[in-house]
Amino acid sequence: MGLNNGEVNKNGNGNSHYDPDDEKTPFTEKEEVNGNDIQTESPHSSVAPRAEEDEGILKKLKRDAIYREKYWISIGIMWSFFVLGWTIGQFGPSLLDLRIITSTSLKQASAFMTGHSVGYLIGSVVMGIIFDKMRKERTYSVAWSVVAMTVVLAVIPWCYIYELMVAMHVFKGLAGGGLDTTGNALLISLWRADGKSFLQSIHFAFAIGGAISPFVTGPFLAPENNMNTNTTSEIIGSTSIANYTNNATMSDSGDFPWTESRLYVPYSIAAFLALTATVPLFVLACTSKRPSDVKSVKSVSSVDEDIDEERNIQRLSAGMKAIVLIILMVFLGIYCAMEDGFNSFLATFCVSKLKWTKYMASIVTAVFWISYTIARFIGIFLARIFKPVKLLFILTVLLILGFLGIFLSAQFKFYEGIWISSGIVGLAMSMIFPLVFAWTEESILPVTGLVASLFLIAASLGSMINPIVLGFLMDNSSPMWLAYIMLGESIINLMFATFQICIIYPCGWIWKAGH
Angle of CA points 465, 469, 475, to nearest 5°: 145
Which pLDDT score, from 0 to 100, does residue 56 have? Answer: 67
Interior/surface letters 108-143, b for 16+ CB within 10 angstroms, e for the rest: bbbbbbebbbbbbbbbbbebbebbbebeebbbbbbb
The answer to whether residue 12 is domain-embedded is: no
The answer to whether residue 52 is domain-embedded is: no
The answer to whether residue 390 is domain-embedded is: yes
The answer to whether residue 49 is domain-embedded is: no
In terms of average pLDDT, the best of 45-54, 240-249, 387-396 is: 387-396
Who has greater pLDDT, 405 or 308? 405
pLDDT tens digits, one per residue of 153-196 = 999 999 889 999 999 999 999 999 899 888 888 888 888 766 67
pLDDT band at 250 (very low <50, low <70, confident <90, very high): very low
Which pLDDT score, from 0 to 100, does residue 397 have? Answer: 94
Kindly report which listed range (260-269, 357-366, 429-438) carries the lowest average pLDDT score.
357-366
Which pLDDT score, from 0 to 100, does residue 418 have? Answer: 92
pLDDT tens digits, one per residue of 369-384 = 788 889 888 888 888 8
Which pLDDT score, from 0 to 100, does residue 322 have? Answer: 83
Average pLDDT (416-422) is 92
What is the distance between the alpha carbons of residues 431 and 388, in angstroms, rounded to a whole number?
10
Kindly report which listed range (127-131, 224-228, 345-349, 450-454) carries the lowest average pLDDT score.
224-228
Query: 201 and 323: one domain?
Result: no
Which pLDDT score, from 0 to 100, does residue 230 have? Answer: 39
Which of 252, 272, 294 is where one domain is finished?
Answer: 294
Environment class of 13 (CB within 10 Å of its CB; exposed 0-12, middle 13-18, buried 19+): exposed
What is the DSSP code (8-state) at residue 37? Answer: E
Who has greater pLDDT, 358 or 222? 222
The answer to whether residue 137 is domain-embedded is: yes
Who has greater pLDDT, 249 or 332? 332
What is the distance between the alpha carbons of residues 197 and 235, in angstroms, rounded to a whole number?
32
Query: 239 and 364: one domain?
Result: no
Question: Over 90: is that where the pLDDT of 399 sits?
Answer: yes
pLDDT band at 492 (very low <50, low <70, confident <90, very high): very high
Question: Over 70: is that where the pLDDT of 297 sits?
Answer: no
pLDDT tens digits, one per residue of 62-76 = 777 788 888 888 899
Query: 442 and 318: one domain?
Result: yes
Average pLDDT (102-123) is 81
Which pLDDT score, from 0 to 100, does residue 356 have? Answer: 82
Question: Over 50: is that where the pLDDT of 408 sits?
Answer: yes
Query: 353 and 254: one domain?
Result: no
User: Average pLDDT over the chain, rounded to whole?
Assistant: 74
Question: Over 80: is that where the pLDDT of 243 sits?
Answer: no
Which pLDDT score, from 0 to 100, does residue 235 have? Answer: 35
Taking the alpha carbons at both ends of the chain, their separation in whole angstroms is 19
Query: 505 and 357: one domain?
Result: yes
Which pLDDT score, from 0 to 100, does residue 59 have? Answer: 77
Which of 294, 329, 349 is where one domain is finished?
Answer: 294
Is residue 310 within 8 A of residue 44, CB to CB? The reply is yes
Question: Over 70: is that where the pLDDT of 398 sits?
Answer: yes
Nearest to 91 by CA among 109, 118, 77: 109
Kindly report which listed range (287-291, 338-342, 398-402, 492-496) carries the lowest average pLDDT score.
287-291
Kindly report which listed range (33-37, 166-170, 471-475) carries the lowest average pLDDT score.
33-37
Query: 274 and 323: one domain?
Result: no
Is residue 340 within 8 A of residue 237, CB to CB? The reply is no
The answer to whether residue 403 is domain-embedded is: yes
What's the domain count of the chain? 2
The answer to whether residue 18 is domain-embedded is: no
Query: 280 and 311: one domain?
Result: no
What is the distance between the alpha carbons of residues 286 and 280, in angstroms, rounded to a whole number?
10
Query: 276 and 308: one domain?
Result: no
Question: Over 50: is that where the pLDDT of 393 sits?
Answer: yes
Query: 267 and 315: one domain?
Result: no
Question: Over 90: is that where the pLDDT of 244 sits?
Answer: no
pTM for this model (two decimals): 0.64
- Give 82's contacts (C-beta < 8 A, 6+ positions apart): 205, 206, 208, 209, 273, 277
**Distances from the Cα of 485 to the Cαs of 166, 213, 231, in angstroms?**
31, 29, 29
Give the CA-trace dihedral at 140, 142, 147, 150, to 10 degrees: -160
Who has greater pLDDT, 258 or 135? 135
Query: 245 and 333: one domain?
Result: no
pLDDT band at 389 (very low <50, low <70, confident <90, very high): confident
What is the distance between the alpha carbons of residues 427 and 429, in angstroms, rounded to a whole number?
6
Name the residue range of residue 476's domain. Answer: 300-515
Average pLDDT (47-66) is 61
Which pLDDT score, from 0 to 100, does residue 291 have? Answer: 52
pLDDT band at 511 (very low <50, low <70, confident <90, very high): very low
Question: Over 80: is that where the pLDDT of 52 sits?
Answer: no
Question: In CATH, what number is assigned to the domain containing residue 511?
Answer: 1.20.1250.20
What is the distance between the alpha carbons of residues 261 and 267, in angstroms, rounded to a whole number?
12
Query: 433 and 406: one domain?
Result: yes
The answer to whether residue 20 is domain-embedded is: no
Question: Over 80: is that where the pLDDT of 498 sits?
Answer: yes
What is the distance between the alpha carbons of residues 67 and 227, in angstroms, rounded to a whole number?
57
Question: Over 70: is that where the pLDDT of 495 sits?
Answer: yes
Which pLDDT score, from 0 to 100, does residue 352 have? Answer: 81
Which pLDDT score, from 0 to 100, does residue 315 have? Answer: 58
Query: 285 and 320: one domain?
Result: no
Question: Over 50: is that where the pLDDT of 83 sits?
Answer: yes
Radius of gyration of the chain (CA): 24
Which of 294, 324, 341 is where one domain is finished?
Answer: 294
Phi and psi torsions of 34, nearest 5°: -120, 100
